[in-house]
Amino acid sequence: MFDSLDALLLARAQFAFTVSFHFLFPAFSIGLASYLMILEGLWLATGKGVYANLFRYWLKIFAVVFAMGVVSGIVMSYQFGTNWSVFSDKAGPVIGPLMAYEVLTAFFLEAGFLGVMLFGINKVGRKLHFTATCAVAVGTFISAFWILSVNSWMQTPTGYEMGANGQFLPGPSWIAIIFNPSFPYRLVHTVLAAYLTTAFAVGGVGAWHLLKDRTNPGARTMFSMAMWMAAIVAPIQIFAGDMHGLNTLEHQPVKVMAMEGHYDSHPDGAPLILFGIPDSANKRVDYAISIPKASSLILKHDLNAPMKGLDRVPDGDKPPVGIVFWAFRVMVGIGFAMLGLGLWSLVARARRKLHDWTWLHRAALVMGPAGFIAVLAGWVVTEVGRQPFTIYGLLRTANSASPLDAPAVAASLLAFVLVYFSVFGMGIWYLLYLMKKPPEAHESTLDGAPIRTAGITPAPAIEGGEG
Amino acid sequence: MIDLTVIWAGIIGFAIVAYVVMDGFDLGIGILFPLFKVGKDRDTAMNSIAPVWDGNETWLVLGGGGLLAAFPLAYAIILPALYAPLIAMLLGLVLRGVAFEFRWRDPAHRAIWDHAFTGGSAVATFAQGVALGALLQGISVQGRAYSGGWWEWLSPFSLLTGVALMVGYSLLGACWLNWKTEGGLQRQVVTYAGRLGIALLILIGAVSLATLTLEASYQSRWLSWPGVLATAQVPLATVIVTALFYRSLSRQRDAQPFLWALALFGLCLLGLGISIWPYVIPARVTIWEAAAPYRSQLFMLIGGGILVPVILAYTAWAYWVFRGKVGSEGYH
C-alpha cells in the first residue's frame, strides 16, 4: 500500500515537473510566432527595415524557445503511457484521436515549415518565406486548440459512453467531445495568456534597451508594440478570466470553493477573501481580509446569493485548498498589475513620453517575466483544483497511474530533474544572453554570420534600422 | 465492412517506417559526430540536418500518439513495460535536440554541446533498439496491464538489437552525408559506410536467428512449409539489396547508397511485421483486442487520409528547398 502510494506521488511529481517546464516554452512560442508573423507582415507591407531587424532579432530567440518546446513536448506525449497507463487505456478512445489530430494538423505544420522559416529566407524568397512564418504561427495555435480540448474534456467530460470493459468510448458526436463545456473558455483564456506573456517579455526586453539607449529604433518599436498589446489584451483577459471562472463555478464548483477559500457554506451571501492563510486541518482561513458578500456578487451577481462551501464535499473529493488558493491570487494579482502597466503606457503615450519615462521602463522590465509566473499559477489553479480526479468526477488520479515500482519512478524523476535543470537552465541563460544584446540596425541572421548573398533567390536587401 | 483495425495497423506501421527513414539518418550522424573534424566538417554535418530534424522527430510523436488513439490498450501495456529504455530515449532526444541550437549560441562551450549531441543520439538510438528487442522477446501481461518488473526489458537479445540499431542508423547517417557533402568529409563517410554495411549485415543475421528462438510462433511463421517459400524471399532480397548497396558505393553515387540502405531497413521492418502479425504485443495481444472502437478509428481515418498526403507533400517541399550539397556556413 505504501509502495503504491509513493509511486503515485512520484508519478504526479514527475508529471507536474515536466509539464510545468514544458508549458513555459509554448506559452512563449505561441505568442512569439504570432509576433514574428506580424513583424514580417509589416516588413513586407511597409518595407521598413526596423521590422526586418526586429524579425531577425526575435527569430533567433524563437529558435531556442521552439527547440526546447519540441523536446520537452515529446516527453509529454510519451508520459501519458509510461506513467499513466490505466488512464491511457480508459481514456484513449476519446482523447487519443484528438491528440492524433494535434500531431497531424499542428506538429507537422510547425515542424515542416520551421526549417524554411529559420534557415530558408535566402532560398525561397520573401512571400514564400512569409507563408512559412504564417504556417508556423497558425500551427502553434492549432496545437493549443487540440491539447486544450483534451485537457478541457478531462475537466468537463461530455459526449462519451461507458464501455463494458471500463473504457470511455466516443458517443455519436465528436463535436460534443471536442467542444466540451469548459473548452471555449479555457482556449480563449490560455491563448490570450500566451499573447500577454509574450507581450510582457518583449516589453521587458524593449524597456531594458530603452533604459540604456532611448534612441535605439528597434527597442522603441518593440516597446511600443508590446505596450499596445498590454493595454488592449490585459482588460480582455481579465474579462475572459471572469467568464472562465463562472464556467468553472457551473461545472466544477468544488474547484471554485478552493480558489475562494470557502471552507464553510454561506447561505446568505459569501465574502470575498482577498488574503488569508488557509488552514485545511481546522477548515478555516486564518488572518482573512475579506469583503462581505462580494464573492456572491462576483460569482452570482447577487449580494445575498447562497454559496456552498467545502463543508458540503466529502473529504475524499476535495482538492488541496492552500496551493489552489495561493496560485489563484498570484495569477489574479499579476493580471491586474498587467492591466495597470497597460493603462500607464496609455497615459505615457498621451503625454508623448512613452519612450522617455524611465519609471515606466523600470516597471516594464520588472514585469517582463510576469506572464510566465501567471501562466504557471493559472495552470496550477486548474490542474490542482480538479484533484483528486484525472477525468473529473469519473476517474480518480489514484486509479490512473501505471503499475510501476516506486524506485523506477524515483530514478526517472531524478533524471528529469537533473537533465531539465541543466539543459533548460542553459537554454534560458542563452535566451537572456540574446535578449541582452540590443537590436541592431543590421541584425544578423540566425548564426550571427553576415547576411548571405548566395542562394537560389538573391538575398533581399535589408535597409538600415531607421524605420 | 472494411476492417479499419487492419488499416490502422498499416498506418502505425507506416509512421514507424517514416520515422526510421527520416530520423534514422540524423540520429546516425549524431553517433558518428565525434569522428568528424572539429570546425568545418562538423558544421557541415550539422547543417545537413538542421532544417529537417524537427519534422523527422514528429513521426515519432505520431507513432506514439497514433498508438494511443488507435490501439490504446497496446499503448497502455507497452509503454510501462519499456519504461527505462523509453525514459532514456526521451532524455537522449532532449539533449540532442537542444544541441542543434545551443552549439551555435555558445561557441565557447561548443565542445560540450557536441558531446551532448553525440551522447543524446547514441542513447536515444540504443534505447529504441532495446525497446524493439524487448517487445519482440515478449512482455508480461495480466488483464489489461503490464505485469512484469521494471528490468524485464533487459536481456542479451534486447542489448543485441540496441547495438544493431546503432550500427544501422550510423550507416544511414554516413550515407546521408555521402549524399549531402563533398571533399574530405564525403571520402571519410564513404569508408564508414562500407564498414558499417558489413557490420549491419552480420547483426541482421544474428538478430534474425536469435528471433527464431524467442517464440515458437516466430519459427512456424518463418520456417513452416509452404510459407517458407514466401518468407525466404526476405533474406534473399536482403542479400541482393546489400550487393546493390555496395555496387552503388563503389561507383561513387551520391544518393543511391542512401536509398539502398533505406531499402535494407525496409526489409528488416518487413521481417519484423512478418514475425509479429497480427499481434501488437507478440503472442499476447492482437491488434483487434487492442483496437480503439470503430468511431475513434473512423474519425481519425478521415483526418489522416486527408492530412498525411498533405504532410508528405510539404515535407517533400521542405527537403526540396534544402536540396543539393551543403556548405559549412550554410543556413546557420
Residues B23-73 have pLDDT tens digits of 999 999 999 999 988 888 888 888 888 878 888 888 888 888 889 999 999
How far is the C-alpha of A141 from the C-alpha of A29, rounded, in Å?
Answer: 10
pLDDT tens across B254-285, in order? 889 999 999 999 999 988 888 888 888 888 89
Residue with cell 468511431: B295
Do A240 and A227 contact (CB within 8 A), yes or no?
no
Which one of A91, A114, A452 has the shortest CB-CB distance to B54? A114
**Which residue, among A423, A446, A453, would best test binding to B if mutated, counting the most B CBs under 10 Å from its CB?**
A423
Q: Residue B271 falls within a domain, yes or no? A: yes
Contact A108 B145 (CB under 8 A): no
Q: Closest-CA residue in chain B for A173? A: B295
C-alpha distances in Å from residue B155, one per residue of A188, A412, B151, B215, B280? 50, 20, 9, 15, 20
Read off the pLDDT of each residue in A209-219 and give the average, rounded to a whole number: 92
Cα-Cα-Cα-Cα dihedral sign, residues B262, B264, B267, B269: negative
Asked whether residue B193 is assigned to any structural domain, the reply reads yes
Residue A456: inside a domain: no
Domain that holds residue B286: 4-321
Our measurement of the distance from residue B174's CA atom to the centroid of its chain's CA atoms, rounded to an integer in Å, reads: 15
How many other β-carbons are positioned within 10 Å of the β-carbon of residue B6?
Answer: 14
- Find the residue in A nearest to B299 (Cα): A97
- All 3 cell numbers of residue B295? 468511431
* Domain-embedded: residue B330: no
Cβ separation A71–B94 shorter than 8 A? yes
* Residue A92 in domain: yes
Please give the share of chain A, as a percent, with pLDDT higher than 70. 94
Q: Is residue B38 in some structural domain?
A: yes
B328 confidence band (pLDDT: 50, 70, 90): low
A418 domain residue, yes or no = yes
Closest-approach residue (CA) in chain A for B94? A71
Mean pLDDT of chain A: 88
pLDDT tops 80 at residue B157:
yes
Our CA-based measurement puts residue B75 at a distance from the nearest CA of chain A, in whole angstroms, of: 6
The pLDDT value recorded for residue A455 is 30
Contact assignment for A75 to B292 by CB distance below 8 Å: no
Residue B122 located in a structural domain: yes
What is the per-residue pLDDT for A274?
86
Give the mean pLDDT of B144-172: 92
Mean pLDDT value of segment B150-163: 92
Which chain B residues are closer than 8 Å to A102 by Cβ?
65
Chain B residue with Cα closest to A84? B76
Which residue is it, cell 535589408? A462
User: A25-39, A102-116, A209-223: which has the minimum mean pLDDT?
Assistant: A102-116
**Cβ separation A405–B77 shorter than 8 A:** no
Contact at CB, B292 and A92, closer than 8 angstroms: yes
Sort out which chain B residues have CB atoms less than 8 A from A104's CB and list them. Answer: 62, 303-304, 307-308, 311
pLDDT tens digits for range B195-221: 999 999 999 999 999 998 888 888 888
| Residue in A closest to B141 by C-alpha | A403
A170 DSSP β-pair partners: A160
Confidence of residue A461 (pLDDT cuts 50, 70, 90): very low
- C-beta of residue A87 within 8 angstroms of C-beta of residue A80: yes
Partners of A113 on chain B (C-beta within 8 Å) are 314, 318
Structure confidence at residue A23 as a pLDDT band (50, 70, 90): very high
Give the C-alpha separation, A185 to A195, whole Å.
16
- What's the predicted TM-score (pTM) here? 0.90
Tell me the pLDDT band of A450, cut-offs 50, 70 and 90. Answer: very low
Q: Is residue A447 pLDDT above 60, yes or no?
A: no
Q: What's the total number of domains in chain B?
A: 1
Residue A451 domain-assigned (yes or no): no
Q: Which residues are CB-contacts of A136 (< 8 A; sequence separation ≥ 6)?
A: A33, A36, A37, A109, A110, A113, A114, A117
Q: Which of B134, B166, B167 is nearest to B151 (CA)?
A: B134
Q: Is the pLDDT of residue A462 over 60?
A: no
pLDDT tens digits for B83-124?
999 999 999 999 998 888 888 888 888 889 999 999 999 999
Within 8 A of A415 by CB-CB distance, chain B residues are 87, 91
Residue A449 has pLDDT above 70, yes or no: no
Determine, yes or no, domain membership for A453: no
Q: How near does any CA of chain A get to the CA of B247, in Å?
A: 33
Name the grid cell of A182.
469548459
Instruction: Indicate if the pLDDT at residue A466 is higher than 80.
Output: no
Closest alpha carbon within chain B to A74? B61
A273 domain residue, yes or no: no
Nearest 5°: CA angle at B207, between B203 and B213? 150
- Please name the member of A110, A402, A419 whose beta carbon is closest to the beta carbon of B91: A419
- What is the reported pLDDT for A415? 94
% of chain A residues with pLDDT over 90:
61
Are A190 and A317 in contact, with CB atoms under 8 Å apart? no
pLDDT tens per residue across span B161-191: 999 999 999 999 999 999 988 888 889 999 9
Over residues B216-229, mean pLDDT: 84
Tell me whether residues B293 and A448 touch, CB distance under 8 A.
Answer: no
Q: Name the band, by pLDDT with cuts 50, 70 and 90, for residue A453.
A: very low
Helix residue ranges per DSSP H, A301-405: 321-350, 358-366, 370-385
Rounded distance between C-alpha atoms, residue B208 and residue B191, angstroms: 26
Note whether A119 contacts B300, CB cutoff 8 Å: no
For residue A256, the distance in angstroms to the closest alpha carbon of chain B comes to 32
Distance (Å) from the C-alpha of residue A400 to the closest C-alpha of chain B? 11
- The answer to whether residue B327 sits within a structural domain is no
- Cell numbers found for residue B104: 551555435
Amino acid letter for position A186 = R
Asked if A71 reaches chain B (Cβ–Cβ under 8 Å), the answer is yes
Q: How confident is the model at residue A384 (pLDDT cuts 50, 70, 90)?
A: very high
A299 inside 8 A of chain B by CB: no
User: How many separate domains does chain A show?
Assistant: 1
| Interchain contact, A103 vs B78, CB within 8 Å | no
- Tell if the CB–CB gap between B318 and A115 is shorter than 8 Å: yes
Quick one: cell of A310? 467545502
Q: What is the pLDDT of residues A6-16, one digit of tens each?
A: 889 999 999 99
Considering only residues 109 to 168 of chain A, which have any Cβ-Cβ distance to chain B shorter than 8 Å? 109-116, 118-120, 123-124, 163, 165-167
- Residue A351, domain extent: 2-265+308-436
